[in-house]
Amino acid sequence: MVFHALGDPMRFRIVEALRTGERAVNDLVDKVEIHQSGVSRHLRILQEAGLVQVRPEGQKRIYSLRPEPLRELNAWITSYRHFWEARLDRFAHALKQKQKRQLPDKKENSK
Amino acid sequence: MVFHALGDPMRFRIVEALRTGERAVNDLVDKVEIHQSGVSRHLRILQEAGLVQVRPEGQKRIYSLRPEPLRELNAWITSYRHFWEARLDRFAHALKQKQKRQLPDKKENSK
DNA sequence: CATATATATGCATATATATGTATATACATA
DNA sequence: TATGTATATACATATATATGCATATATATG
């Protein structure tokens, strides 16, 4: 749901625009060059994905980011970290071989 | 591009299936319940997004994850971390007040 | 209350997307 | 070479999506 919401370029731009702080709808319209109705609909989708929240202020409606889904996204991507490191190892192997000579036998419990 | 690629539920499942290691197309077909042609097309899209790579092995084609876009995704989400922490501070405030009493004046350079 | 401002939504439409079926392509093997 | 296996792709189609326009709704202000 979050990936889908961020998958649209316009919505991504809106999220990036909200990065620096809360914004009224028309402020966002000025940034992304689509019609106001489109921005409102994108905001709706972002809201349904939990990525933004609204706060009325007079006749304006102030949108801001909700950290929760971003935190979850971070958790998800973090769960792949071992995978990156495993990949890096391929290239880091030679380097480690070098290091072994510097630090002869440093707790080598991995196969 | 990466968000869009991961935004489709089937492609997300394929990525998750590749998490544990490389897989031939038919292995993936067994996991996600769509037709083989669909899986091939999703793999194409994932490949265009840089998320997977292929390696031929006999008549099979072995797909595996490419760490690079995931690393970039991590970099992107990390750039929002200060934002999360700012939000967390609202709730962490009371806790910090408590801690202050335990550790009276610990280098309080923040405003 | 009339009018202006800010935002959301119904409608129409063009485009994108996901999917299955059938088929092409590539490789292996008898 | 003929056949089987594995995968990709052309085609058709149903559905989703993004967008603008017009309008409804809500709030502020004269």
Sheet of strand A23-24, all strands in order from the earlier edge strand to the far edge: A23-24, A60-65, A52-57
pLDDT tens for B32-53 read 999 999 999 999 999 999 999 9
Average pLDDT, chain B: 84
10 Å Cβ neighbour count for B106? 8
Q: A34 beta carbon < 7 A from strand D?
A: yes
Q: B56 beta carbon < 7 A from strand D?
A: no
Nearest to B67 among A4, A78, A84 (CB): A84
The pLDDT-based confidence of A89 (bands split at 50, 70, 90) is low
* The CA-based dihedral angle spanning residues B24, B29, B31, B35, taken in that order and rounded to the nearest 10 degrees: 170
Asked which of A6-15, A26-35, A98-107, B66-75 is least confident by mean pLDDT, the reply is A98-107
Q: A42 beta carbon < 7 A from strand D?
A: yes
Domain spans in chain A, listed from the N-terminal domain onward: 2-65
User: What confidence score (pLDDT) does residue B107 get?
Assistant: 34
User: What confidence score (pLDDT) does residue A90 get?
Assistant: 53
Chain A contact present for B102, CB below 8 A? no
pLDDT tens for A7-38 read 999 999 999 999 999 999 999 999 999 999 99
Q: Do the chains contact at B19 and A80, CB–CB below 8 Å? A: yes
Q: CA A79 to CA A77: how far, in whole Å?
A: 5
Nearest to B70 among A70, A80, A88 (CB): A80
User: What confidence score (pLDDT) does residue B84 get?
Assistant: 76
Chain A interface mutation, best of B74, B78, B88, highest count of A Cβ atoms under 10 Å: B74
In angstroms, the CA of B1 and the C1' of C17 are apart by 15
pLDDT tens for A51-64 read 999 999 999 999 99
- Say if residue B87's pLDDT is above 60: no
Q: Which of 1.10.3720.10, 1.10.540.10, 3.10.450.50, 1.10.10.10 is the CATH number of A2-65?
A: 1.10.10.10
Q: How far is CA A89 from CA A77, A93, B52, in A?
A: 19, 5, 18
The pLDDT-based confidence of B110 (bands split at 50, 70, 90) is very low
pTM for the model stands at 0.81
B79: three-class secondary structure by DSSP = coil
B49, B66 in Cβ contact below 8 A? no
Please tell me the number of Cα atoms within 13 Å of B99 on its side-chain side: 7
User: What confidence score (pLDDT) does residue B82 get?
Assistant: 86
Q: Which long-range CB contacts under 8 A does B35-43 form with residues at least 24 apart?
A: B38/B10, B39/B10, B39/B14, B42/B8, B42/B10, B42/B11, B42/B14, B43/B14
The pLDDT-based confidence of A84 (bands split at 50, 70, 90) is confident
Q: Do the chains contact at B74 and A87, CB–CB below 8 Å? A: no
Positions of strand D less than 7 angstroms from a protein CB:
4-10, 17-22, 26-29
Q: Which long-range CB contacts under 8 A does A88-91 form with residues at least 24 apart?
A: A88/B67
- Say if residue A110's pLDDT is above 60: no
Residues whose CB falls within 8 Å of the CB of residue B55, separated by 6 or more in sequence, listed in order: B22, B61, B62, B63, B64
Positions of strand C less than 7 angstroms from a protein CB:
4-10, 17-22, 26-29
pLDDT tens for A70-82 read 999 999 999 999 8
Q: What kind and span of H or E run contains A55?
A: strand A52-57
